[in-house]
Amino acid sequence: MTVEVRRSRDADERAAAIEVRRQVFCVEQGVPLHDELDGRDEEALHLVAVDEDGWVIGTCRLVFRGRTCQLSRMAILSEERGRGLGHALLDLADLEARLAGSERISLHAQIHAETLYEQHGYVPRGPHFEEAGIEHVAMEKALDA
């Protein structure tokens, strides 16, 4: 199956991305919906993985603050995991952050995903902490000019 990883194109795709996040974070992981919907979606650049039938099956979002890009809400439907979509979303996030003039990307990684981010050059900073009832670690990556 062919998957296209790109910027979301419209409000329908952004809504579908939020639905993927609801399935992953709220249904699978038990995060309350009010914690998942933090009010930052309107200001964010949403990246999506779209299958050949036009369904959004993975997503992440980027919020830009000065020279820092915050990557958050990376989610891939359970049945679509293990296909490299997380890697593809992270590669595109790097490109989009560079195009926006960012010097670094920061994120809060769930501990089970820490290795994925390390494979993409992210470095943990600080101790583990709990966010929405799930153990996380802050990570950051400097972007080459």
Residue 134 makes CB contacts below 8 A (sequence gap 6+) with 29, 31, 110
Supply 112's token pair: 């089970």
Residue that the structure tokens 């003039």 belong to: 101
Domains defined along the chain, listed by start: 3-107 (3.40.630.30)
End-to-end CA distance of the chain: 35
Per-residue pLDDT for the chain (145 aa), expressed as one digit of tens each? 799 999 999 999 999 999 999 999 999 999 999 889 999 999 999 999 999 999 999 999 999 999 999 999 999 999 999 999 999 999 999 999 999 999 999 999 999 999 999 999 999 999 999 988 899 999 999 997 5
Rounded CA gap, 135 and 119, in Å?
20
> pTM for this one?
0.94
pLDDT of residue 48: 98
Residue 76's DSSP bridge partners are 58
